Amino acid sequence: MTDGAAFLTTLRTEKIGAQRWLLTDDLVYQTALLHGVLVAPRGFQTDLASIPRSLWVLFPKEDLYDQAAVIHDAAYGHALTTTDSARVELVKPWADRIFQEAMVASGVSPTRAALMFRLVSWFGRPAAHPLAANRVP
């Protein structure tokens, strides 16, 4: 599933509030599913993984999936671009699939990535995301 999928840059953030981080550099991801490169742009705000506090014991707020969570947040917020800055708009099912692919590319086990994919597929709501105001029009 992840042949050819890889993060091309390192996640660099600055904590700017409770459960809020600011990307200080572009996060660049090569996706095999879409056969292209996605960029979460510098300046994008994220809450990393949107995991309810009661589940942090099973799924810590910060973990191997941080980079994947940023790409997922940027997809939900319609903030992803190509390397030439063209906007990439993904419908929710594709955003969730890219999240799963990116988790495995980050070293998350395929089983854990599949479980987290199912959870965001069932419960993820882009319009209700904690940073919905961060959404790019």
Each domain of the chain, given as residue ranges in start order, spans 6-125
> How much is the pLDDT for 41?
93
Q: Please, what is the Cα angle at 100 between 77 and 121, to 5 degrees?
A: 65
Report the distance separating Cα 38 and Cα 86, nearest Å. 10
**Strand ranges (E), the chain:** 6-7, 13-17, 20-23, 27-31, 36-40, 45-46
CA dihedral 22, 26, 27, 28 (to 10 degrees): 170
In tens digits, what is the pLDDT along the chain, a chain of 137 residues?
A: 567 899 999 999 999 888 788 999 999 999 999 999 999 999 998 888 766 656 656 665 556 789 999 999 999 888 899 999 899 988 889 999 999 999 999 999 999 999 889 988 887 777 665 555 555 55
Torsion of CA 71, 132, 88, 10, to 10 degrees: -20
pTM: 0.86
